[in-house]
Copies of this chain bind each other. A is one copy, B any other.
């Protein structure tokens, strides 16, 4: 294989336009101090020759690599891919992040990192040394990882943390407390009074926010939350256990909100096993709205996480900072939504009351 060189370089453009390399560079980088007529002449040459700057060369001399790294948990991501259960977190990140990158001439590279802390610094340091990314997007459960943020701070690489409100970098959330409130209010409006909540693990900061949202909405409706909270770890098995605890309590809930899809599916399966109908006997709301919850029977009412949009915003923040544009001080909150499907209905007793009335 011959040594591969750039077909068209800045040199060709400079020669074609009859200007110096610098002028071309200035045009490429939209720098000031170029007369409009010069700029146009150069841009015409660029278009005519089909010139595209080499990212490698830009990185070599300048400070930009036009690369943004999206860090995802290795174990969980690979497990999701292998199990083919329809989790589409990475796809949604790509949808929002990659397309937004493309708009600005950047590329998004998915990078998997081990949670195990021995590896994490070496791995990330290696990726940084190899790629010299202009920015890094952190996703749960790494958004709060001080080892990671410390490393990035030391390297002067800007980063965005999805699902975090901590200072340092750009914090973005998907409005978790509000989302839980939405789900709770939906059930309250249907007439439910005992609404159980299956929380996620506490190493995800957003788990707490969701509990808070549920608690607040319950309190606002004058409802108690004692004995109505169970914690899982986002896995199917833990969801089943949590649901079991809720259902076995002296006064079981007439509706359950699960903090993610796997735990909601586990709850659905358990309810079916016990001969309980959804939504007639128990209503069920899921977080995430990954593809599969549309295909269960009944399809699940779910909180829609705006993953694509939050990824897009994260990219925009990183690029804006590098471009020297103003960026917000506080966290960016992208609102979540609620999709009502077949798994929520008025509780049994409420229906009886209605029937008695009628």
Contacts and interface: CB of A to CB of B under 8 A. Distances in A.
Interface residues of A, number: 61
A116 interface: no
Contacts of A98: 110, 112
A130 B52 contact: yes
B92 A81 contact: yes
Contacts of A88: 81, 84, 86, 88, 91
B130 A85 contact: no
Interface in A291-312: 291-292, 294-297, 308
Nearest to A83: B291
Given A50-B125, A295-B295, A295-B296, 20 more contacts: A1-B156, A2-B63, A4-B132, A6-B132, A8-B129, A52-B125, A55-B56, A55-B131, A56-B57, A56-B59, A56-B132, A78-B99, A81-B88, A81-B91, A84-B92, A84-B290, A85-B291, A86-B291, A88-B91, A90-B94
16 contacts: A2-B156, A3-B63, A50-B125, A51-B129, A55-B56, A56-B60, A78-B99, A84-B88, A84-B291, A85-B294, A86-B292, A91-B91, A102-B112, A107-B109, A292-B292, A292-B295
